[in-house]
Amino acid sequence: MTAKLAETQLWQHNLVSLIRSGLFLRAEARECNGLFTVVGVYTDESTSAPLAKYSDPRRAADAVNIVNRLALVSPLVEAN
């Protein structure tokens, strides 16, 4: 369970860094070596390294939807 929690925290940390960079456009699910990966797409249409990997395409699609919703939320107090 600890390894799973650590993986989730690392994924969230990488996601926050990507969104805060100001270059994040959207998230996409892609297939790579039989796994479904979640990648970030930058404004120049280049992609990030995989943020998460899933064997189930529905889980990857859910993660993409969540990431795209998080990216739409404007920064709060930290922006001041």
Mean pLDDT estimate for the chain: 81
pTM, 2 dp: 0.74
- Percent of the chain predicted with pLDDT > 70: 79
Beta bridge partners of 36: 31, 54
Which has more confidence, 43 or 1? 43
Among 75, 24, 22, residue whose Cα is nearest residue 51: 24
Tokens of 76: 């709060």
DSSP 51: S
Q: Per residue in 36-60, pLDDT tens?
A: 999 999 999 999 888 889 999 999 9
pLDDT of 1 over the 50 cut:
no
